[in-house]
Structure 1
Amino acid sequence: MPQDAVNQMFSNIKTIYQFHHDFLLPQLQERIDKWENDPRIGDLMKRNAPFLKLYTDYVKNFDNSMNLINYWLQKSSKFSSIIREVQKLPECANLTLQHHMLGPIQRVPRYELLLKDYIKHLPENSADLKDAQAALDLVTKAASHANEAMKKIEKFRKLLEIHQSLRGINIDFISPTRELIREGPIIKIAARSGEKLSRYLFLFNDLLLICSEPMLGAYKVKAQMDIESMEVITIFN
């Protein structure tokens, strides 16, 4: 795999990691250690909030990252093998690489929620209140970039969860453009015998999956259909 593909795949994640590891988190830890003498974090968050805009580039590149990961998982058996081995590590908690790459996008909105909760519990005469409110304004602006992408990414997260539960699917399932429309159980009536069979459907904007009923959280794919040329006919009994 060319280095350029790796750089595009992971965007500026190294810079984001270094910012947290080398600057923000050590500063927060120092404040916690000295909390009894200096109980404030508003000034610290205010000073560091502008750096949270680093996430903007990461969010903008997310779709491209997912496409590259899917492409190289299909093209490179070595890359695919490495990813499978890494995902088996306890630190990965049986989650895919795509799942873990959602994490940075959620970080800034979490800072926003934490600051709101922090301010809510500050006394009105707290010396940290003004800085904390200023920090919240800055973090909220940074979070807006992530929040705009969150709805789309939550749909993508759902897609990843479904993919992990499917058995017997033989298509390139993960795609940033694929969205779940509806899912649920149905009764299928066999055309020849009239036998009633329990099935579970996943309807996407471009695909229909007909699965067996879930067993231990897994769905066996019985049929997959491209909905582009599909026609729905209403039948009255």
Structure 2
Amino acid sequence: MRYRKINNWGQFDDGKEVQSSDPGFLEDQRSRVRAELVSSEEIYAKKLQTFYKHYAYPLSQEKHDHAVMKHQDKWDRYFKELENIKDFHRDVMVTNLQAAQPSQEDGDYEDIGERFMNVASYLTEMYVPYLRKFSEIRDSIKNERRKSKYQQFFDDASRQCGGLQIEDFLIMPVQRIPRYKMLLSELIKYTPDDHEEKKSLQEAHEMILKILADVNSRAN
């Protein structure tokens, strides 16, 4: 019987990937996830600043001398918790995670799990109130932006933000905590059991789960 040329070797794949136990592979994956934690944190903080520059500050007479409308104190109420989140990530969390990256001189790094645990109380204090009120805040702002007096402003602000609507920014903190959960879970997966960072990563992951559980329990 003649050999029949095989053009599609993929048809013989059994669909089950064998995970490598090579320490080099694990360390590469750890470095990738750590880098994603830091880079996504930087992007998140910058987007919150963009939101305040083009949406929150112009809408708030109390916070900005050139407010779109006079005496719009209600916007301050809507954005109160979010401003605390913005300032925390800009002033604390970004540098906190950047410091945990390996140094260029000797490659040493600080325990990223401990970095999370050091700010655990702040994350809980700021995110839980915002996440609980998110639906109410979002719905209130939707009602406000339908008013004709705001239409031109929201169109202009969206163009300044590359097409992002105000709702796109409001939901970012809601998405950030689950993102921490995902990245910490992935980092734990690629951290050997005997690694010095394993325990603190697990504790940080548990802390994030508690924040989510707290929000969900109070929302029901």
TM-score range, shorter chain: 0.5 to 0.7
Q: Which residue of 2 aligns with 1:41?
A: 112
Instruction: Give the total of aligned pairs.
Output: 148
Write the distance in 2 (CA, Å) between the matches of 1:41 and 1:7. 34
Q: Between Structure 1 and Structure 2, which shows a larger proportion of strand residues?
A: 1
Distance (Å, rounded) in 2 between the aligned partners of 1:76 and 1:56: 33
Q: What is the distance in 2 between the residues matched to 1:131 and 1:81?
A: 49
Deviation at 1:145, TM superposition (A): 4.3
How far residue 128 of structure 1 moved from its aligned partner, in angstroms, is: 1.0
Using structure 1 for the length normalisation, give the TM-score: 0.56
Q: Which residue of 2 aligns with 1:85?
A: 156
Asked whether the equivalents of residues 102 and 109 of structure 2 are also in contact (C-alpha less than 8 Å), the reply is: no
Correspondence 1:140 to 2:209: yes
The answer to whether structure 1 residue 70 and structure 2 residue 139 are counterparts is no
Alpha-carbon distance in 2 for matches of 1:148, 1:94: 34
Q: Cα distance 1:26–1:4, how it changes in 2: closer, same or farther (>3 A)?
A: same
**1:180-221 Cα shifts (integer Å, max 9, x gaps):** xxxxxxxxxxxxxxxxxxxxxxxxxxxxxxxxxxxxxxxxxx
More off after superposition, 112-121 vs 136-145: 136-145
Residue of 71, 75, 100 corresponding to 1:6: 75
Deviating beyond 6 angstroms after TM superposition, the runs of 4 or more aligned structure 1 residues are none
Are 1:116 and 1:136, in contact at CA under 8 Å, matched by a contact in 2? Answer: yes
Instruction: Give the alignment's Cα RMSD to 1 decimal.
Output: 2.5
Give the Cα separation in 1 of the matches to 2:164 and 2:216. Answer: 23
AA matched with 1:116: S
Structure 1 unmatched runs, 5+: 151-237
> Structure 2: 5+ residue runs without aligned partners?
1-68
Query: Structure 1 residues 39, 121: closer, same or farther in 2, change over 3 A?
Result: farther
Amino acid at match of 2:209: T
**How far off its partner does 1:16 sit?**
0.5
Q: Choose the corresponding residue for 1:58, options 112, 115, 130.
A: 130
8 Å contact from structure 2 (residues 188, 198) kept in 1: yes
2:102 and 2:108 in contact (8 A); partners too: no
Q: 1:127 corresponds to which letter in structure 2?
A: E
1:52/1:41 Cα in 2 relative to 1: closer, same or farther (>3 Å)?
A: same
Match of residue 99 from structure 2:
30
Counterpart code for 2:118: R
Identify the residue that residue 168 of structure 2 maps to in structure 1. Answer: 99
Instruction: Give the distance between the partners of 1:149 and 1:93, measured in 2 at CA.
Output: 35
Is the Cα–Cα contact under 8 Å of residues 5 and 68 in structure 1 kept in the other structure?
A: no
| Greater percentage in helix | 2
| Shift, 1:130, TM fit | 1.3
Q: Matches of 1:39 and 1:27 in 2, distance apart? A: 10
CA distance in 2, matches of 1:65, 1:121: 38
In 1, the alpha carbon distance for the partners of 2:201 and 2:139 equals 39
For the structure 1 residues 10 and 55, does the alpha-carbon distance in structure 2 shift closer, same or farther, using more than 3 Å as the test?
same
Asked which structure has the greater RCO (Cα within 8 Å, sep 6+), the reply is 2
The answer for the alignment partner of 1:154 in structure 2 is: none
